[in-house]
Amino acid sequence: MKLLQFIAAAALQSVNGSGTKGSAVSEELVLSARADTAKVLGMTESRAEGLGSAEVEERLEKFGPNEVGKVKRSSLVLRFLSTTKNPLVILLAVLGAISYFTGDLRGTIVIVLMILLGVVLRFVQEEKADDAAEKLTSMISTTATVIREGEKREIPLKDIVPGDIVHLSAGDMVPADVRMLQAKDLFLNQAALTGESLPIEKTALSASGDIKNPFDFPCVCFMGSNVESGTGIAVVVQTGSRTFFGSIASSLSGRRQLTGFDKGVNKFTWLMIGFMAVMVPLVFLFNGLSKGNWIEAFLFALAIAVGLTPEMLPMIVTVNLSKGALAMAKKKVIVKRLNSIQNFGAMDVLCTDKTGTITQGRVVLERYLDIEGDPDEKILRFAYLNSFFQTGLKNLLDVAILNHASLETQFVSPRGFKKVDEIPFDFVRKRMSVVVEEGDQHLIICKGAAEEILSIARTVEVSGEISPLSDTKQDRISALVRSFNADGFRVIALGYRAVANGDLKSVYSVADEKDLTLLGFLAFLDPPKPSAREAIEALHGHSVAVKILTGDNELVSASICRQVGLDVGNILLGSNVEGMTDEELAEAADGAEIFAKLSPHHKERIIRALQSRGHVVGFMGDGINDAPALKAADVGISVDSAVDIAKESSDIILLENSLLVLEEGVLEGRKVFGNITKYIKMAASSNFGNMF
C-alpha cells in the first residue's frame, strides 16, 4: 500500500506543477531524491536486507520486467496501410478510380504507379526509423548485483523490481533509476545521457529543494550510466519503461510527426482539393444547363478533376530528391530519408549538441602554465612522468597528457627515469603521486585538485627560480584558477619535491606529500572542431540561425561558443526550461543562442517550441541524449562516430569530420526545393488554365 501511495503522491505533485514539470524523469524518483535514506526505504516498501522471493514475484507481476524499448508494434500489413493515410495519396487514389470508371486506362496505370512508388518508399524509410528503439536494449548489461534476503545475488537485469537493493562497483552499468543509500568515492560516467564529458560524484545526501535539474541530484543514478570508480548501495525506484532511459526508448517508438516538407505537400494537396471543390460543381452545372445532357456533364466534370491534378508530382519529387541524395553522397553525406533534403534547404534554425559535434568529443590538454600564466615545458614533462608511471585507473585527463605531442621518446627514455613508488589517488586527498629516480635523488611528483596541492605546497617555481609561497602569490594563483574555470577549463595543479640522497627510501606514503614546490597548472578542454567556426559563419550567411543545446554546464558551453563565434549574452539553463510553459519557452528560445544543463526532454521541448514559431528546425547530435531531439526535428543530422541510436534516429549522417558539409547540404536542399517548387507552379497553373 505504501508503494501505491508513493506513486499517487508523485502523480499529485505532477498535477500541481511542482518538481520536474513535464520532465521524462519520474516524479517518484524526484520525491525519493529529496527524502532521507530511511524514508526512501519506507516509500519503496523495502529494507536494508533486501526483498523476499514472494515480494519479488508480486512486483514482477505488477510492474513487469525491467526492459526498455519493448513497445508492441502493429503487424507489417497494418504498418504498410498506415502509410497510405496521406491527403495526396487519397486524392490520387480517388482520381485513379475515376479514370478507371471513365475508361482512361492509361491515366489509371500512371496514377497507380505514382501511388505505389510514394507509399513503398515511405514505408521502407519508416521501418528503418522504427528500429531505433530496439537498439537501446543491446546497450544495457544483462546482469546486476542485488541484495535479497540478506544475500548478494547476481541476477538477470530484467528480473530487477522497484524496491530491490542493488550493489554498484567500478565497471557496473546502473541497472535502473536508483536512489543511493550508501556511497564511497562513487563516480559515474553519464556522458551518454547528459553530454558531460567528465565523471560525476554521487553520494547518499538528499537533494536540496533549490536543485531543479534531476541530473544534478547527488543521490540519484540513472539507468544507462556506468560506474567509473568507487562503490555504492542503492534502492531501485523505477524500472523498465518508467526509467528515464526507458522514456527515451518509448519516445523513439512512436510515429514521427510531420516535418515541414510533409506539411508543404499536404498544404498543396488541400489547395488542389479546394480548386476541385469549386471548379467541378460549376463545370457540371454550366455544362448540364447549357447542353441538357447531365450524364455527359458529370463525366466531363470528373475529367476536369483528373486534369487539374499534377499526377507526376510524386515522381518529380522523388527524382529531385534522389538526385540531391546522389550529389550529397559524393561529398560523404549519407541521406537516410529523402524528404530531409528539402527540409535541409528550408531549414532556418540549426540546433546542435556541443560535445562531439561542435567539439572534438575528447578531452585535450590545452595549456601548461606557471603561476604567472606563462607556458613551461617542465610542467608538461613532470605531468607526463606522473601519468606514465602511475598504475591506477588512468582517467580522461591522464590520457590527454599521455597523448600530448608524443612525449615518450622526448622526456622518458632518453632521460633514464626509473619508478620507485606510487601513492595512489583517493577522493579524500583528491591527488596522487609517483616517485621517480633521477640520478642520485628521488622526485615526488604530485598532481591533483588545485586547492589540495596548494595546501601542501610551501614554495613555487617560476622560470627555474624557487621562492616562498606567499599570501600574495596564493591570491594570484586563486585568481588564475578562477579565470580558467570561468573559461570552461578543467584545471589541475602539479607540484614536486626532491628527496635528497640521505632521505631516500623504497616505500613512500601520504605523509611524504608535504613541502612541495608548486610548478604550475594543467588546463584541459574539449576543443571545437577546426571547421566549426567557418561552418557557423557560412550558415549565418545563408540566414540559418545556430543554437547550442547541451547537457554540459554553462561555463564550458560559453567558452566553446566564444571560440566558434556565437553570441554568449543570453544563456538559458535546463532549470529555467523546467519552469516555463510551452508558450513562454517558444518566446525565450527565439532569443537565446545557448541552452545548457539540458536533459533529453528539454532538447525535444525546445525543438518543438521553435517549430511552433514557424521555424523549420534541424538538429545535430551524436549521443543517446540527442535521440528524441533528432526525431522531433524537421531534419536530424548525426555523424559517423555517433552512437547507433543517434544514427538510427537521424535523417542525414556526415561521414567526414568537417561541419562545412552542412553548408553544402543547405545549398543542395534549396536547389531541390527550387526545382520542386518550379514544377508545382508550372503544372498547377498550366492544368488550372487548361481546365478553366
The residues that are catalytic are 353
- Find out whether 605 and 22 touch, Cβ atoms under 8 Å: yes
**DSSP one-letter code for 354:** I
Q: Alpha helices of 613-659 — where are they, by DSSP H?
A: 627-632, 644-649
How many CA atoms, within 13 angstroms, populate the side-chain half-sphere of residue 504?
A: 12
- Find out whether 126 and 119 touch, Cβ atoms under 8 Å: no
* H/E run at residue 401: helix 396-402
Residue 433's beta-bridge partner residues?
423, 446
**Please, is 350 exposed, middle or buried when counting C-beta atoms within 10 Å of its C-beta (0-12, 13-18, 19+)?**
buried
- Find out whether 648 and 129 touch, Cβ atoms under 8 Å: yes
C-alpha cell at 567: 553570441
Residue 474 Cα distances to 129, 274, 455, 461, 466, angstroms: 57, 77, 10, 13, 15
- 595: amino acid identity, one letter: F
Instruction: Calculate Rg over the CA atoms of the chain.
Output: 31
CA angle 520, 525, 526 (to 5 degrees): 160
Dihedral sign (CA 322, 324, 327, 329): negative
The number of helix segments (H) and strand segments (E) in the chain equals 27, 23
Q: Alpha helices of 35-104 — where are they, by DSSP H?
A: 37-43, 53-63, 76-82, 87-101
Q: What is the longest distance spanned by two Cα atoms in the chain?
A: 124
The distance from CA 123 to its chain's CA centroid, rounded to whole angstroms, is: 27
Cα torsion for 545, 546, 547, 552, to the nearest 10°?
Answer: -170
Q: Alpha helices of 527-579 — where are they, by DSSP H?
A: 532-541, 554-563, 574-578
Sequence-distant (6+) residues with CB within 8 A of 331 are 661, 664
- Find out whether 177 and 26 touch, Cβ atoms under 8 Å: yes
- Find out whether 558 and 485 touch, Cβ atoms under 8 Å: no
Parallel/antiparallel/unpaired status of strands 165-169 and 143-148: antiparallel
- 202: amino acid identity, one letter: K
- Phi, psi for residue 167 in degrees, rounded to 5: -105, 130
> What's the N-to-C CA distance of the chain in angstroms?
73
**DSSP one-letter code for 569:** S
CA angle 542, 544, 550 (to 5 degrees): 145
514: helix, coil or strand?
coil
324: helix, coil or strand?
helix
Residue 366 Cα distances to 94, 166, 380, 487, angstroms: 65, 40, 11, 12
Sequence-distant (6+) residues with CB within 8 A of 338 are 121, 125, 318, 321, 322, 325
How many CA atoms, within 13 angstroms, populate the side-chain half-sphere of residue 664?
A: 16
| CA dist., res. 177 & res. 231, Å (int) | 16
Other CB atoms within a 10 A radius of the CB of residue 486 amount to: 11
C-alpha cell at 486: 570561468
C-alpha cell at 113: 504507379
